[in-house]
Amino acid sequence: MSTLVVYESMWGNTRSIAEAVAEGLAEVSGEQVPVLDVMEAPAALPTDVDLLVIGGPTHAFSMSRANTRKDASGKGALPGHEARGIREWLEQQPSSDVVDVATFDTRVASVRKLPGSAAKAAGKSVRRHHLGRLIDVESFYVDDMSGPLLDGEVARAQEWGRGLVPARSREGREPR
């Protein structure tokens, strides 16, 4: 099984979750799992990838947009992410019927009951553009817009990553 984790991170919190998910996946699969910032991700998903995990921060109840990334940058977020986020990266991917996809987001805990999340929006994009088979969606929580992650979220992300490999097996999909 070839797995790739792609993330978008404004403050470093989503990157931390992506790295933890990859650690969990690697523990179960026994393989190294690459973790790429969306700005470094290949224009098209490599053909040998059969599990894609993609995550980003929730901005305005969905995936970020150029204007929300610019706004975050103006508030002190890491520079250089204004041009492309997971929304744009997903839109340029070709259709696939062989890739399993799991999506995650980071969002502010105080509004966890409000509708909308980047993970759910990314999952809808995966379905709408036939980018693969969506196998799971998860949210991880930060204290405030810039973080930090709530206690236990990194460990929960590792556990979620470990669960993604067995989730594929339960679906009767054998690694290529």
**CA-to-CA separations, 37 to 10, 20, 51, 81, 176, in angstroms, rounded:** 11, 14, 17, 10, 25
The amino acid at residue 132 is: G
Decide if 67 is inside a domain.
yes
Which residue range is the domain that position 19 belongs to? 3-170
pLDDT value at residue 145: 85
Tokens of 172: 């009767």
Decide if 115 is inside a domain.
yes
Q: What is the pLDDT of residues 19-30, one digit of tens each?
A: 999 999 999 999
Decide if 38 is inside a domain.
yes
| Total domains in the fold of the chain | 1
pLDDT value at residue 38: 96
What are the backbone angles phi and psi of residue 38, rounded to the nearest 5°? -55, -25
- pTM more than 0.75: yes
Q: How far apart are CA 50 and CA 57, in angstroms?
A: 24
> Domain holding 53: CATH number?
3.40.50.360
Decide if 176 is inside a domain.
no
Decide if 175 is inside a domain.
no
Q: How far apart are CA 142 and CA 52, in angstroms?
A: 23
Decide if 44 is inside a domain.
yes
Write the CB contacts of 74 (distance below 8 Å, at least 6 apart in sequence): none
Q: What is the pLDDT of residues 13-71, one digit of tens each?
A: 999 999 999 999 999 999 999 999 999 999 999 999 999 999 999 998 899 988 888 88
Decide if 98 is inside a domain.
yes
Which helix or strand (DSSP H or E) is residue 127 part of? Answer: helix 118-128
Would the CA dihedral through 12, 14, 15, 21 be positive or negative? positive
Decide if 133 is inside a domain.
yes
pLDDT value at residue 17: 98
Name 53's bridge partners. Answer: 5, 102
- Give the pLDDT band (50/70/90) at residue 85: very high
Q: How far apart are CA 92 and CA 115, in angstroms?
A: 26
